[in-house]
Chains A and B, each alone.
Chain A
Amino acid sequence: MTTVSMTVNGRSVSGDVEDRTLLVSFLRETLGLTGTHVGCDTTQCGACVVHMNGEAVKACTLLVGQADGTEITTIEGLAKGDELHPMQAAFREHHGLQCGFCTPGMIMMGVDIVRRYGSDLDEQTIRHELEGNICRCTGYHNIVKAIEAVAHSSGVAQAAE
């Protein structure tokens, strides 16, 4: 057993975990933050994307020990109270989700893409950048539109936070 401590969505947390515990298991099972999903066992689908120190990572590929001392943001920590993050609002407005299972990972990835490219984003870049996230419902059409809309809106600064 190892003790890990980190900041998750602005809150200091710690826990005793088996060495083999993955970050996603710690978030879901120890902290009860079930918005981060597990859709595969090969790091292909991206349903588990969270931010570690501000950058998108796949929580199913990191041991929780590797996240010791970091700042983690999950989908539950993205909105400010009742006010949706611009990426969350854009997914809603552009119908970028259907069953909602891949959505948390997609939104966290979308935020990271906009953080890196800002308003330079075009459709092809977004499609290429989404290669690590699989959606089976939307055909990506509206996900791409949602991310593009955020990149080109005045909310870019906030979206990149």
Chain B
Amino acid sequence: MGAEGFGARLMRKEDRRFVTGRGRYTDDIGLKDMTHGVFVRSPHAHAKIRSIDTSEAEKMPGVVGVLTGHDLAADKLGGLICGWMIHSKDGSPMKAGAHPALAADTVRYVGDAVAIVIAETRDQARDAAEAVAVDYEELPAVIDPAKAMDSGAPQIHPEAESNLIYDWTIGDEEATNAQFSNAAHVTSIDLINNRLVPNAMEPRAAIGSYDPAEEHFTLYNTSQNPHVARLVLSAFVGVAPEHKLRVIAPDVGGGFGSKIFIYPEETTCLWASKKIGGRPVKWVADRTEAFLTDAHGRDHVTKAELALDAEHRILGLRVRTIANLGAYMSTFSSSVPTYLYATLLSGQYAIPQIFAEVLAVYTNTTPVDAYRGAGRPEATFVVERLMETAAREVGLDPAEFRRKNFVRSFPHQTPVIMAYDAGDYEASLSAALEAADYAGFPARKAEAESRGKKRGIGLSCYIEACGIAPSQAVGSLGAGVGLWESAEVRVNPVGTIEVLTGTHSHGQSHETTFAQIINDRFGVPTDTVSIVHGDTDKVQFGMGTYGSRSAAVGLSAVYKALDKVEAKAKKIAAHLMEASEDDIVLENGTFQVAGTDKTLGFHEVALAAYTAHNLPEGMEPGLKETSFYDPTNFTFPAGSYVCEVEIDPDTGKTTIVQFVAADDFGRIINPMIVEGQVHGGLAQGIGQALLEGCVYEADTGQLITASFQDYCMPRADDLPSFKVMTTETVCPGNPLGVKGCGEAGAIGSPPALINALTDALGTNELSMPASPEKVWRALRSASSAAAA
């Protein structure tokens, strides 16, 4: 490990601009003659649009134009798509309804956009949006996904009868049932995985800009994957041909999944810019718009059962989940409760048979899609709540029960597709238990009781599949795109290096970690390396950043390009030093003829490549290589979390007294950055477990939690300082040996916390978010049950 290379705790290169206020987010960008767009949104969860009268709005000061869903339809723009095809158990394809960027006939959730008002200033556009008169005929709405399948429930899309999008299964039902009939003990549990709002601190924004001279479109937006945005907007929506559309995602203020997807506003701003004659149209969401229209996360209702033999070994797992996908299918939505969820139901355990059934349902709510972890938190919640409950039911220590059932040899094929490549689950569990002083818990509990407090401790041993791939495999499962990544490494004549990557950074520190890898290979200082991303005109293609794929897939592509650069550079060095290519070694930025004192600096070889006065015969000048990397398997980070809570029985308030995370992320490029990722993930998972919950009014479909005043975001005072540590098994699937760390905290922490609370309360009846009121009621019902 060098001072800046693999494993170095290097300070971030990107920080200087952020701490001085010089980041450049979409809303910071102003273009010549720019106008401002404000959307008119449905106040109803379900309604027919009888008519839209824009005449008053058009007369308002500063208004440049008002465009409706009928204008959009007249221009024959395509609707937004869901890019992952899922088939029901009867073999029929999922029933996806149309999703126009602006609704023309029917609105299906509160916030569904029906028109855009464009004016000289944002305030003028807001004023005029108030003056657009929409005549709605209200229709009955349904919010609860189980009720949405009832006969007589409001029909949301004609394509999906009973609002059922698909009824999908995985695993061998008969073999799993047979395991249950042989079980010595069965643990059953009903769970709700609460709906969350991602709430990246930067609200979504877009600037659509059409240049009539070049017939060319530019979109600036808050995107985690600008190339896929361009692909969908050109190939499916048809707003512009691919070669006439440039998508730029500049600094992006957090995504957590919500900025992967293609949304109505981007389509509309691009199209509107052309409609008004080529003036740029900027839209920036306010926070309530973000609550209403950013794709939400989670929202599962699950019944799960675990079968054990007499020695407490797991025989089988049965799961039935209803997944609420909201009013429309978002870009990745169908993959989240299926291949990203049910394929992880084996957890860290050797489970001979698993059968899962997932019903995906439309409701009159905001579309639901991937949110930090995407399916894996839901799977982990099921498995780890079951493990804890089963251990308590059979009277085993929960840590011991998990140990007994761990997968211990690798590779390990689960009954639900995944083949775990490497891991040591015992190592992370032991590290976590030791750091948490698990053995000392009974004494701490007794001490807390002496002060009138309730203490509990809970575990969670999660696994996740990230760096999702390979392309052929995901294609066979229904993915509409490949999940490789591309890279280009440009060594400039003076030896500075630009790395162009198809990944995107919105807080993950790519400018630092990617440069560390270049330093590690070529010995050049990280400040002579720049990372270029987020612009479809600069980077040829890419798949963006989500699912902890940037290091495992994106950096692996860079690494492959570096191999090619190094091979060519060695040929040049050998030629210049009149040595055999096989004798050239590259160390600390210097090419050396092995066993001699003949050397050439990296920059000297770079210069020689471009001056080209003296290159090996037939060699092309220049030193620039590209690579596309398609992984051979997912990577499988895993870890063990221990949470200890103290409850005030008078108020139901929970205090997290200790939270320990021991993760195996494979090799680690920058420990400081990895720790930061874990902290952030833990905060989001703890937020889900204790505070956050998206609430709709049942009859009307109004979003009750539509601002930070109503939706409880975790604040500094709600969280403890975390104890985080790592264990390491090297990932054999990629050249860097890395796994991925972005989602772990959000995956592993909710069950650890709920397990700790249920331990303290002596009841298993507690749903997320475990507000003080819920905890207080659970405590009272547990005490009365004990007294009875």
Query: Residues of A with Cβ closer than 8 Å to B?
Result: 18, 20, 28, 33-42, 44-45, 47, 74-76, 78-79, 84, 88-89, 91-93, 95, 97-104, 107, 123, 126-128, 130-131, 133-144
Asked whether B684 is an interface residue with its Cβ less than 8 Å from the other chain, the reply is yes
What chain A residues lie within 8 Å of B264 (beta carbons)?
Answer: none
A135-B708 Cα distance, complex, nearest whole Å: 12
Q: Which residues of A contact B252 (CB under 8 A)?
A: 99
Q: Tell me whether chain B's interface is mostly helix, strand or loop, or mixed.
A: loop
**B680 in contact with A139 (CB, 8 Å):** yes
Please, how many residues of chain B have a CB less than 8 angstroms from a CB on the other chain? 57
The reply to whether A136 and B680 contact each other, CB–CB distance below 8 Å, is yes
A95-B12, A141-B722 as given contacts; A33 in contact with B683, CB under 8 Å: no
**Is A84 touching B708 in the complex (CB atoms < 8 A)?**
no
B161: chain A residues at CB < 8 Å are: none
Q: Is B667 engaged at the interface, CB distance under 8 Å to the other chain?
A: no
In the complex, are the beta carbons of B21 and A123 less than 8 A apart? no
Closest to B11 in A: A92
B18 touching A97 by the CB < 8 A rule? Answer: yes
Contact between chains at B21 and A99 (CB < 8 Å):
no
- B19, B201, B256, B673: the one within 8 Å of A101 (CB): B201
Q: Is the CB of A74 within 8 A of B21?
A: yes
27 pairs, A vs B, C-beta closer than 8 Å: A36-B21, A42-B287, A45-B287, A74-B21, A75-B21, A88-B19, A89-B19, A92-B15, A97-B18, A98-B254, A99-B251, A99-B506, A99-B507, A100-B18, A100-B507, A101-B201, A128-B717, A130-B715, A134-B201, A136-B680, A138-B676, A138-B683, A139-B683, A139-B722, A141-B679, A143-B716, A144-B721
Residues A98 and B676 in contact in the complex (CB < 8 Å), given A34-B28, A39-B201, A127-B717 = yes
- Tell me the complex Cα distance, A160–B243, Å: 53
Alpha-carbon gap, A160 to B600, bound state (A):
51
Chain A residues with CB under 8 A of B722: 139, 141
A28, A37, A40, A137, most chain B CB atoms within 10 A: A137
Interface residues in B700-732 (C-beta closer than 8 Å to A): 707-709, 713-717, 719, 721-722
Q: Are B717 and A44 in contact (CB under 8 A)?
A: no
Whether the Cβ atoms of A99 and B15 lie closer than 8 Å is no
Closest residue of chain A to B679 (Cβ to Cβ) is A139
Asked whether B740 is an interface residue with its Cβ less than 8 Å from the other chain, the reply is no
| Chain B residues with a Cβ under 8 A of chain A | 11-12, 14-25, 27-28, 123, 199-203, 251-254, 256, 286-288, 506-509, 672-673, 675-677, 679-684, 707-709, 713-717, 719, 721-722, 745
Tell me whether A39 and B673 are in contact (CB under 8 A).
Answer: no
CB distance from B83 to the nearest CB of A (A): 25
Residue from A38, A99, A126, A128 in contact with B254 in the complex, judged by beta carbons closer than 8 Å: A99
Distance between A100 CB and nearest chain B CB, rounded to angstroms: 3
Are B721 and A141 interface neighbours, CB within 8 A? yes
11 more A-B residue pairs beyond the given contacts A102-B253, A136-B200, with a C-beta to C-beta distance below 8 A: A34-B27, A44-B709, A76-B21, A93-B11, A97-B19, A99-B251, A100-B253, A128-B716, A130-B717, A139-B679, A139-B722
Residue of A nearest to B284 (CB): A38
**In the complex, the 10 A-B pairs of residues with the closest C-beta atoms, listed nearest first:** A35-B21, A101-B253, A100-B18, A99-B507, A139-B683, A75-B21, A44-B708, A139-B679, A98-B507, A34-B28
Chain B neighbourhood of A36, CB < 8 A: 21
Contact call A79/B20, Cβ cutoff below 8 A: yes
B21: chain A residues at CB < 8 Å are 33-36, 74-76, 104
A40 touches B254 (CB 8 A): no
Q: Is B19 a contact of A123 with CB atoms below 8 Å?
A: no
Chain B residues with Cβ under 8 A from A128's Cβ?
Answer: 716-717
Complex interface: chain B residues within 8 A of A95 (CB)? 11-12, 672-673, 675-676
A66 to chain B, nearest CB (A): 18
Chain B residues with CB under 8 Å of A141's CB are: 676, 679, 719, 721-722
Q: How far is the CA of A144 from the CA of B717 in the complex (A)?
A: 10
